[in-house]
Structure 1
Amino acid sequence: MKGPAYMLAGIGLFGLLDAISKLLSAEHLVWQVLLVRFATILAVVLALRAVRPGWGGVLTTRHPRIHLARACAMLGSATFFFLTFTHLPLVEGYLVFFTSPFFVLGLAALALGETPRRSAWGWAVLGFAGVAIGLAPGLAAGLSGAAVGYLWALCGTLCYSLVFVLNRRLRHEAGMARVLFWPALLGFLVMLPPGLLHWRTPDAPALALMLANGVIVGAATACLAEAFRHASAARLAPFGYSGLVWSVSFDLLLFGTLPGWTMLAGAAVVVVACVMSERSAQKPGGKSCDPSARSGSRVAESTAESGSGP
């Protein structure tokens, strides 16, 4: 259960990240918020490596193209989800995001050769139906005020799904430094020109939240990377549904927004799909989605023994 445990922790941290980003979006543009976020990640990684030489393992890689693709997908995901929550409540954006398992199962089958149980496809489709139920009021209204938000959420979901699968491709690379450093460096370089051009000096609380976002996203990324060292993409995908709990909670606590009954009904369907998908994956005699998945624990152990773990 190490993979699912890391996945749940990562999703919870990303829920907090999105809530803080929504708070910041009221007065600050995406370029500035993400510039500070990526700069913070770079600073933390470099500081850790200065205090503890070699922390996180080497920065070089045998798979530069995969890392570049992953960095681009992560940048797209961060940008699109920030824009999503400037238009939508957290729970609505998350329900669009929960189409991700459908995309992940397809990408995992095409790119990784993983063959999920047939029942996993069925439960993923049911989860997609739950998303449709939850968004029914918005769809019936013609997406009048939420069209842009739903579009950004869909783009962010596609990028996230690609990150999900690329993480699995990199599961045999021990160490956390390259997982954090290269996406942060690309994001910093891309956001630097527009971030400086549209810079608005934040007050102390806003700056603290921007800096906290960098630490949170680093911790969340590390959790997801560890999750993929212990389990297949198809098995971990349904655990993304746990974000429902966080999105509803943060919407209520920070923004005073309560989901409607259709949203709750859709969420209930999604949770059932998540639970049943996990039960299906654990049935005796079932084939592993990835024949090499068992080696994930050995990779993590060797990383910890070498001192290159987080």
Structure 2
Amino acid sequence: MRGPALLLAGVVLFALLDANSKLLSGEYGLGQVVSIRYAVLLALLLAARAVWRGAGGPVATARPGPHLLRASSMMVSAACFFLAFQRLPLAEGYLVFFTSPFMTLALAALVLGERVPAAAWRWCALGFAGVVLAVLPRLGGGGGEAEALGYLSVLVGTLAFAVTQTVNRGLRGEPGAARILFWPSLLGLLIYGPLAARDWVEPPPLDLAMLAANGVFAGAAVAATAAAFRHADAARLGPWGFAALPVSFLMDLAIWGHRPDPAMLAGAAVVVLSCVMSERAARQRPRREWRDSVGGQGIPGGKRWLPSAPKGSGAAERTAESGKAP
């Protein structure tokens, strides 16, 4: 459960980041909000490494290409989600975001060559059906150009997020969190710093604290999601991204007083069910493969099944693991 637990922590932290950014977006521009986020994140990382030498592991990497791709996709998603939540309620933006498990699973299969079990696709499909159930009544709402731009922004941001998650999976062998925080923060300052200088608005102390809090939320969320993909593959983690739906409901209700209608609640119930059942399928899959091997078709990995010990002795189970006769 470590991978799903870390991903759920990342989901909550990302929701806090998006809600805080939405609150700030009425007064401050994209460049200022995002550049302060990355400045604080970079300062925290450097301070930690000054106090604890080498905290987070090495910054240098032998794979600059994937890190550049990852940092670039993070820059795109940061801008797109900021623009989307300027125009949409948090929960509505997240409804579009819930196409990300499909994108992540597809990229993991196509780019990383991971084996995606059929059960994971089925439960993701059920979760997507829950999203459709929730969003369908809003499709004919006539929200105008601003709402259309919001939906387009969150769709592009979702694709960029899926790319980030896929690269996280490809970089899972690199130890430590310093690389995954340092390089995106540096790139964020280079890209968004000039925009912040051009459109700077002097914030009062409370707003400055909220702007700085984004750096804490972002750093913790990135570290949690990257760690999650080191402990489990995309097929197991993908459907758990749907948990952001009830989190976004609570944020909308607590901060803006937006109450979910029956269609959104029904869709959320379907989404949560898909998360629970996909985790159950992931736990049962190794057990099912082992039982199939007992039937005489050979154990996973191509080794022959050679039972020769009495049932209940424990020797047959050890044989299944080693591929050798007891």
TM-score by length of 2: 0.86
Q: For 1:113 and 1:142, how far apart are their aligned partners in 2? A: 42
* Counterpart contact for 2:7–2:241, Cα < 8 Å: yes
Residue 79 of structure 1: how far off its partner (Å) = 1.1
Tell which deviates more after alignment, 139-148 or 180-189: 139-148
Aligned position for 2:190: 189
Q: For 1:55 and 1:17, how far apart are their aligned partners in 2? A: 24
* Counterpart contact for 1:99–1:127, Cα < 8 Å: no
Q: For 1:285 and 1:221, how far apart are their aligned partners in 2? A: 34
Q: For 1:228 and 1:22, how far apart are their aligned partners in 2? A: 28
Map 1:38-117 → 2, pairs under 5 A: 38-117=38-117
Secondary structure at 1:42 match in 2: helix
After superposition, give the CA deviation of every residue in 1:105-146 in whole Å (9 maximum; x if it has no partner).
110100111111112111112212221121112212245352
Q: For 2:6 and 2:120, how far apart are their aligned partners in 1? A: 21
Q: For 1:110 and 1:142, how far apart are their aligned partners in 2? A: 37
Aligned position for 1:172: 173
Map 1:154-169 → 2, pairs under 5 A: 154-169=155-170
* Counterpart contact for 1:7–1:224, Cα < 8 Å: yes
Secondary structure at 2:185 match in 1: helix
Q: For 1:286 and 1:113, how far apart are their aligned partners in 2? A: 20
Map 1:1-310 → 2, pairs under 5 A: 1-144=1-144, 146-283=147-284, 284-286=287-289
Q: For 2:143 and 2:127, how far apart are their aligned partners in 1? A: 21
Residue 285 of structure 1: how far off its partner (Å) = 2.4
Q: For 2:209 and 2:134, how far apart are their aligned partners in 1? A: 34
* Counterpart contact for 1:80–1:155, Cα < 8 Å: yes
* Counterpart contact for 1:244–1:267, Cα < 8 Å: yes
Secondary structure at 1:285 match in 2: helix
| One-letter amino acid matched to 1:136 | L
Secondary structure at 2:265 match in 1: helix
- Paired residue total: 288
Q: For 1:121 and 1:72, how far apart are their aligned partners in 2? A: 28
Q: For 2:102 and 2:75, how far apart are their aligned partners in 1? A: 21
Residue 286 of structure 1: how far off its partner (Å) = 4.7
Q: List runs of 5+ in structure 2 lacking aligned partners.
A: 291-299, 301-326
Residue 279 of structure 1: how far off its partner (Å) = 1.4
Aligned position for 2:314: none
TM-score by length of 1: 0.90
Bigger Rg, structure 1 or 2: 2
Aligned position for 2:307: none
Calculate percent identity across the aligned residue pairs: 53
Secondary structure at 2:111 match in 1: helix
| One-letter amino acid matched to 1:174 | P
